[in-house]
Structure 1
Amino acid sequence: MRLRSIRCAASLALAAATAGAQPRTYSARSPDGETVIALAVGPQVTYTVTHRGRTLVAPSPISLTLGDGRVLGHDARPSGARTRQVSDSVRPVVAVKNAIVGERYGEVHVDFRGGYALEARAYDDGVAYRWITSLPDSVTVQSEEATFRFEGNPTAVVGLDSTFMTHQEPAWGRVPIDSIAGRKMGLLPLLVDVGAAKVAITESDLESYAGMYLASGGPGTLHGVFPQAARAEHARNDRDVDVTDRFPYLARTAGRRTFPWRVLFVADEDRELLESELVYRLAPANRLTDVSWIRPGKVAWDWWNALNVTGVPFRAGVNTDTYKYYIDFAARYHLPYIILDEGWYKLGDLMSVTPGVDVPELVRYGESKGVGVILWVVWHTLDLQMTPALDQFRRWGVKGIKVDFMQRDDQAIVDFYWRTAREAAARHLTVDFHGAHKPAGLNRAYPNVLSFEGVKGLENDKWSTLVTPTHDVTLPFTRMLAGPMDYTPGAMINAQPRQFRAVFERPMSQGTRAHQLAMYVVYESPLQMLADSPTQYLREAESMEFLEAVPTTWDETRALDGRVGEHVLVARRSGSEWYVGAMTNDRARTLALDLSFLGDGPYTLDAWEDGPNADRDGTDYRKTSRSVTRGTRVELHLAPGGGYAARIRRTGQ
């Protein structure tokens, strides 16, 4: 449903530009008047971004080079331009941040002779531009010039990689822009600190094209780097498919199309980044007519906890009895799903179920208790068996798939994402992409795609020490800007970093219990995992009070406080209830929770907060209850690696 009020400015009549003429400038201004993206058209096309009268991005050249040698954006000759101011809103099928997403922006659209155009938008929280072609038949895009020039040599908060074969699960760090050189590439989103403001770079509407990375072009300059299209591949096993040869181009694609948006978030304060929905706004509109079957929710997950269940009369493992135990647990706490992760089928053949696992019986048993089944699959096997496998899942009554190990975002794999989303939707299957690139708008076009990994999440605690509290409070300002983030929280064995050990079969988390609980409010994922064992959760009645109640979609989001890599404080509303999540890095800190976002009248605040000994024992927490009003101010005392989670309800509800 769209609520629309659009004012279009009169089209601007343009005379043809002559060779050697001064560049002509076209601009779009944000509704609040503070941010401007300006396009300068001459021998080359450049764009500039200003905010509050200050240049954030200096003139930066952009172009597309086609396979026939044409360079769109060089010696460009405008044939017409138009501007408009848009005041619009969208009701997302799956409300990740807000039940209504505002779409207010200024836009400029410049047409060029030769069958192409450039479009730019300015929002209150950022800007974006994209190329548009109106060419017959198909085109080959040989390369794209996407440049981002900043004054001086600012630092960036970035995850680095050196190959296009990547799960996009970096550890984040602060580095000067000019150090992203050699074989290093910055993964998106990449956050630049330009002093008075923060600029985060990513993309949206990535379809039938290659994903973008960033590398240094010298001090203060970043430029886009893209994987070329795969010419030849070698499958090392069921999941690792290496590109052994590449074409000398990025994509062969339709001649009439829009290309991905190059997106720049702009924020005066770090916390403002947490409220932005730029990637969603710029994504293509919902393509499904029937969305009534799409159901977000929480999931009892088996793989992280290594199927460690105890006190049962059967041998725990990948078998029907164990999964019925997970279903019973999910039903008890009103979780809508369980996942059957790796092991339920014989690797390499989705039509061959492992002996001891009866998927139709598990689906039947789950349906009797209101719990759906989601099946994990390897992408390459699914790609080879997509029609028969998805048809089989539909006949069984499976509710969704978790697709893993893509590890690439060249054109062929991006096409695989879209094909999977479309074919899954045709069979009423939800999708969770793992081993995945960052979100870039697919989940708006196909809202059955509920979440994406592309993050160094909790699973890394099974073998790594890199998922630290500092890492945890960096993610909301970086990776989460792109869209839903399947970090898979919920560890019940919690340790301070100095006490932490990576144990594959019996994993724990760094930071406190309250730090883990807060993730369910801070981290956005409409398909949110409970990663630990049902046996562990059954011992933790008070923690389960919160985990049973906390939603996975939201009607309203308020970012109350936060600094990248230091701390975060967020409040979210679902119906008449509010939830609060706060997290800190390895430093203890006190935060002020201002409850002025509440309505009138008394409320009851139930809190799960760090206990007095949480700095020594990460599992130490306490649950408290108190009466509050919108005038109440609450001091939150967070231990090192600590957190705070709260549920706020009208008194008597």
Structure 2
Amino acid sequence: MKNILSTFLLSIFICSGLFAQELKSPNGNLTMTFTLLNDGAPTYQLNYKNKQIVKSSKLGLELKNDKKSLLNDFTIADTKTTSFDESWSPVWGEVKTIRNHYNELAITLNQKESNRQIIIRFRLFNDGLGFRYEFPTQKNLTYFVIKEEKTQFAMAGDHTAYWLAGDYDTQEYDYTTSKLSEIRALNAKAVTANLSQKPFSQTGVQTSLMMKSADGIYINLHEAALINYPAMHLNLDDQNMIFQSWLTPDMKGDKGYMQAPSTTPWRTVMVSDDAREILASKMIYNLNEPNKIKETSWIKPTKYVGVWWEMITGKSSWAYTDDYPSVELGKTDFTKAKPNGKHGANTANVKKYIDFAAQHGFDAVLVEGWNIGWEDWYGNSKDYVFDFVTPYPDFNVTEIRDYAKGKGVKMMMHHETSSSVRNYERHLDTAYKFMKANGYDAVKSGYVGDILPRGENHYSQWIINHYQYALEQAAKYKIMVNAHEAVRPTGIARTYPNLLGNESARGTEYQAFGGSKPNHVTILPFTRLQGGPMDYTPGIFEMDISKINPSNNSHVNSTLANQLALYLTMYSPLQMAADLPENYNRFPDAFQFIKDVAVDWDDSKYIEAEPGQYVTVARKAKNTGQWFLGSVNGETVRISTIKLDFLEAGKKYTATIYADAKDAHYKTNPQAYTIRKVVVTNKSKLAQFCAVGGGYAISFVENK
């Protein structure tokens, strides 16, 4: 590792009274120019291989109830440049080792009239730019309220964008692909119904935002290390193609409460002329602090099954009884209630899932709906909705605990908060102690519905702090966290690797709510997955939901082979085999791939990639060294032509290929697949048919 002053990184020049400095990436392909305008306003611009990526864009923050905002009237007090190069090993991940290599420029700015000081810190990597605002300890800037962050990202053209409508409460929308100039006209169709939502602008979009320029440059805007600050959205000036940061407000409309010394999250711009490099980038992780959990042996990548899909599809229910239109914890007597006959979280049913997990080598079983309160759990602005420790009469915690332990299977806890954040914090320590006493090492938490306290948003500063508090408390109890409906991740799993996954996007459950676009999974790796893994819950084999629940006519818009490929393309150390056991029993040969595929990796090679069209990745399993490959396809039939040069030279492998049949189609023939075995080497090439909404998956076994 080195951390030295690097005079060659930087050039300083004065032009027409402007102060400007340049910073180059380690490989020289990216150049960031910082400029202080005549009125003392800070700006930056970014070029890639001499092509303009971000045009001159303003920086600064507007303060509330303050005579002078942090927007202009600055002078340069100091500049420092450094070069940094290290390698670190994640607790789990796509690769065994991550290189963190950047050149840095820190600009200290003094504001003359207010006698205030801020630092703008830029880090330029080979794959992009990160920058943030820092507020040192000082007399004239201690406590302050941010009215709005005024960071700009001025685009150099009317790019093609893969976007979600800006919303303070949900990211569970389908992606829209359009030109930037078309966002306003398409916004109304992009906003679909959700249990909690609050769009804020006709041109507002969410990060991680993926774009492609007309000349083939891939650009991604996001943020890293979102700590004690509201989540950032982007609002587009579609006349000038300028995005401006748009922070999530609290119930009063304020954006951020700050106390110096402090920093904002990093604003990130990833750039490449190769889409595969965007997928392989670890810049977001590198902008986060190193691991703060000293002993990590309890953090284990997990493959699980669960009592979940049968509820999502409507075959069974979370609620135990239909007798009570409302319940009150501590007063409603469930022992006197008539069971509705549909409650999925009953002891006998859960044992079947434990048996299935044990038989097929799965690590854990998730059970939803085990605890009392589901009869009126959301939509009523109800504070005391769950206590997270009291089971329904038909769920025997002790019996299930002992049964699972005897089978060598872990149980995974479910905490749905109904977005009553205060109630969850009230019960959190008791709930975590209950988990540990009963052998639960992982929790799936949920935040469905409007936030309580009333008026708060899912992505405001106060709620961001709640998610972080729950995560850090979980680490104290050695509990892994999988948070659903929480804010999209920003690389914090580097610092707290017990954050094993999030949802924070439109997952598989929407396939039972009417379906998702067949190319949805070809966009998510470029967007949602940039900040951390997603609990997407793949592995659905029965696409016609009416065969599970006759009253539900939804359809899973994917082929079976596509579902197998998701275990590679939707990277996560937490992977669910989400379908019902009986559907896996119908297709045992295809199910074998789910049983075989790893969840933790030593290496990953992105072989093909184009947002919205296809993603192909090969991964080398940790400890075993076995390779697996997955490829997902979008809305156009294609032939995937790849080289197998990632395999070790001089060795032969048996490749088992699970692929779309020639007549496969996500809508009309999704279960048409083929399985074939071929002997290959690292010199082999493969040409594989991919159906609409299809794909293929391969396991490679070395021939001894």
Q: Does the alignment reach a TM-score above 0.5?
A: yes
- In structure 2, give the amino acid aligned to 1:34: N
Q: Say whether 1:518 aligns with 2:571.
A: no
Deviation of the 1:284 alpha carbon: 2.1
- In structure 2, give the amino acid aligned to 1:191: M
Q: Distance in 1 between matches of 2:68 and 2:8?
A: 28
Quote the sequence identity (%): 25
Range with bigger deviation, 338-347 or 452-461: 338-347
- Among 289, 292, 296, which residue is 2:301 paired with? 296
Check whether the contact 2:127–2:271 (CA below 8 A) recurs between aligned residues.
yes
Residue of structure 1 equivalent to 2:77: 79
Residue of structure 2 equivalent to 1:124: 126
Residue of structure 2 equivalent to 1:56: 53
- In structure 1, give the amino acid aligned to 2:311: A
Structure 1's 7 and 367: CA in aligned 2 closer, same or farther, altered over 3 A?
farther
Structure 1's 111 and 603: CA in aligned 2 closer, same or farther, altered over 3 A?
same
Residue of structure 2 equivalent to 1:242: none
Residue of structure 1 equivalent to 2:156: 151
Residue of structure 1 equivalent to 2:592: 545
Residue of structure 2 equivalent to 1:240: none
Residue of structure 1 equivalent to 2:331: none
Structure 1's 353 and 11: CA in aligned 2 closer, same or farther, altered over 3 A?
farther
Structure 1's 35 and 650: CA in aligned 2 closer, same or farther, altered over 3 A?
same
Residue of structure 2 equivalent to 1:32: 27
Root-mean-square deviation (CA, aligned residues, Å) is: 2.7
Note the 1:454-465 alignment, pairs <5 A. Answer: 454-465=504-515
Q: Distance in 2 between matches of 1:26 and 1:383?
A: 47
Q: Say whether 1:41 aligns with 2:90.
A: no
Q: TM-score, normalised by structure 1?
A: 0.90
Residue of structure 2 equivalent to 1:492: 541
Residue of structure 1 equivalent to 2:454: none
Check whether the contact 1:141–1:250 (CA below 8 A) recurs between aligned residues.
yes
Q: Distance in 2 between matches of 1:90 and 1:254?
A: 31
Deviation of the 1:5 alpha carbon: 3.5
Q: Distance in 1 between matches of 2:9 and 2:128?
A: 25
Deviation of the 1:132 alpha carbon: 0.8
Aligned partner of residue 469 in structure 1, secondary structure: coil
Residue of structure 1 equivalent to 2:330: none
Deviation of the 1:102 alpha carbon: 1.0
Q: Say whether 1:369 aligns with 2:407.
A: yes
Note the 1:436-585 alignment, pairs <5 A. Answer: 436-465=486-515, 467-494=516-543, 508-575=555-622, 576-585=625-634
Q: Distance in 2 between matches of 1:174 and 1:507?
A: 23
Residue of structure 1 equivalent to 2:62: 65
Check whether the contact 1:462–1:504 (CA below 8 A) recurs between aligned residues.
no
Check whether the contact 1:494–1:617 (CA below 8 A) recurs between aligned residues.
no
- Among 322, 336, 350, which residue is 2:349 paired with? 322
Q: Distance in 2 between matches of 1:534 and 1:584?
A: 26
- In structure 2, give the amino acid aligned to 1:622: T
Aligned partner of residue 228 in structure 1, secondary structure: coil
Structure 1's 132 and 365: CA in aligned 2 closer, same or farther, altered over 3 A?
same
Q: Say whether 1:88 aligns with 2:64.
A: no
Q: Distance in 1 between matches of 2:78 and 2:600?
A: 43
CA shift digits 1:532-586 (9 cap, x unpaired): 0122223322122111111122211111112111111111111421111111113
Q: Say whether 1:354 aligns with 2:353.
A: no
Aligned partner of residue 524 in structure 1, secondary structure: coil
More strand by share: 1
Q: Distance in 1 between matches of 2:77 and 2:547?
A: 63
Check whether the contact 2:117–2:135 (CA below 8 A) recurs between aligned residues.
yes
- In structure 2, give the amino acid aligned to 1:194: S
- Among 217, 223, 228, which residue is 1:203 paired with? 223
Q: Distance in 2 between matches of 1:315 and 1:117?
A: 59
Deviation of the 1:617 alpha carbon: 2.1
Q: Distance in 1 between matches of 2:279 and 2:566?
A: 14
Q: Distance in 2 between matches of 1:500 and 1:190?
A: 37
- Among 421, 425, 432, which residue is 2:482 paired with? 432
- In structure 2, give the amino acid aligned to 1:494: M
Check whether the contact 2:637–2:692 (CA below 8 A) recurs between aligned residues.
yes
Residue of structure 2 equivalent to 1:274: 279
Residue of structure 1 equivalent to 2:320: none
For structure 2, the 5+ residue unaligned runs are 111-115, 185-200, 317-340, 375-384, 449-456
- In structure 1, give the amino acid aligned to 2:169: M
Q: Say whether 1:644 aligns with 2:690.
A: no
Range with bigger deviation, 471-480 or 639-648: 471-480
- In structure 2, give the amino acid aligned to 1:190: L
CA shift digits 1:184-241 (9 cap, x unpaired): 42011112222230111010111111001111123311111112223xxxxxxxxxxx
Q: TM-score, normalised by structure 2?
A: 0.83
Q: Say whether 1:98 aligns with 2:95.
A: yes
For structure 1, the 5+ residue unaligned runs are 231-245
Structure 1's 29 and 503: CA in aligned 2 closer, same or farther, altered over 3 A?
farther
Check whether the contact 2:414–2:444 (CA below 8 A) recurs between aligned residues.
yes
Q: Distance in 2 between matches of 1:431 and 1:316?
A: 25
Note the 1:594-605 alignment, pairs <5 A. Answer: 594-600=643-649, 601-605=651-655
Deviation of the 1:36 alpha carbon: 1.5
Residue of structure 2 equivalent to 1:627: 679
Check whether the contact 2:307–2:345 (CA below 8 A) recurs between aligned residues.
no
